[in-house]
Copies of this chain bind each other. A is one copy, B any other.
Amino acid sequence: MELSLQTWPKVEDYLKTKNTIIIPIGSTEQHGPTGLIGTDYITAQKIAIEVGEKTNTMVAPPLCFGMAFHHMDFPGTITLKPSTMMLVLLDMIESCYTHGFKKFMFINGHGGNINPTATAFCEWKTKDTDTTLQLENWWRLPEVQAYEKIHFGDENGFHATCGEVALTMHLEKEAFKTIPKTQFKIERPKYSMPMAPKEFRKTFFDGRMASNPGLATSEHGAKLFEIAVDTISKKVSEL
């Protein structure tokens, strides 16, 4: 049930019996030498649509841009200021709330979005409304992390991870045809978040954070997709 493929009378009907909406949020940012720039919104959107199918829940179009300033020293990254991102989320929540949506499941594909999103939730809640705002970061689900631990171990890393590259290999097969498969050496420099653009590039010269995306395969991606969809579907049902 993609909102973008509905007519308004169908949404009106939906709201007679349900009031949940799933909103995928991601980012447009570098994902290392072999990862896709759209990784974070593609994964969030595709998981969201599948969760929507399984749970018969309305799914909004994705917010393709997030808070990615720390990746700005790598070409192709497009970032929102944290304060801008908060305003966008507040407008989206307010629009949906006006129509009668009360339960919001945000499916997120990017770590940098967590703080501004949580802060936007707080700002919304100052209005004293009866809404439930939940944020699920697919790569942080214990079920997902357990799988990654077994299959990628210490080489999963923290950005341009085996997990997210695998997931996009499954979802965007075509795109990976022109990307040579490489194994990477892992370095573990000392750092503390948040990082500024130049700091990040100096510390993680090619954009990976302690990951070897060479371990990623489309098959792992298919499995991770299944796990993420199943786990979040259950959470949507319990909202």
User: Which A residues contact B (CB, under 8 angstroms)?
Assistant: 2-9, 11-12, 15, 28, 30-38, 41-42, 60-65, 67, 69-70, 72, 74-84, 86-88, 91-92, 95-96, 98-100, 112, 115-116, 118-123, 125-134, 172, 174-175, 179, 192, 194-199, 207
Q: Bound state CA distance, A37 and B72, in angstroms?
A: 33
A70 contacts across to B, CB distance below 8 A: 125
A179 contacts across to B, CB distance below 8 A: 7
Determine whether the beta carbon of A37 is less than 8 Å from that of B199.
Answer: no
21 contacts between A and B (CB under 8 A): A6-B36, A6-B76, A7-B35, A8-B37, A8-B75, A8-B76, A70-B125, A75-B100, A76-B99, A78-B95, A79-B95, A82-B86, A82-B123, A83-B83, A84-B84, A84-B88, A87-B87, A118-B119, A125-B195, A128-B197, A131-B196
Instruction: Report how many copies the assembly holds.
Output: 6
Q: Bound state CA distance, A196 and B41, in angstroms?
A: 29
Determine whether the beta carbon of A95 is less than 8 Å from that of B122.
Answer: no
Shortest distance from the beta carbon of A5 to any chain B beta carbon, whole Å? 4
Q: Bound state CA distance, A76 and B121, in angstroms?
A: 21
Known contacts A87-B84, A122-B116, A127-B196; is A36 also within 8 Å of B78 by CB?
no
A196 contacts across to B, CB distance below 8 A: 125-131
Determine whether the beta carbon of B61 is less than 8 Å from that of A64.
Answer: yes
Q: Bound state CA distance, A3 and B192, in angstroms?
A: 26
Known contacts A130-B196, A132-B192, then 11 further A-B pairs from the complex at CB < 8 Å, ordered by chain A residue: A4-B38, A6-B76, A8-B207, A61-B78, A65-B92, A67-B122, A75-B100, A79-B95, A80-B88, A121-B194, A131-B196
Determine whether the beta carbon of A69 is less than 8 Å from that of B119.
Answer: no
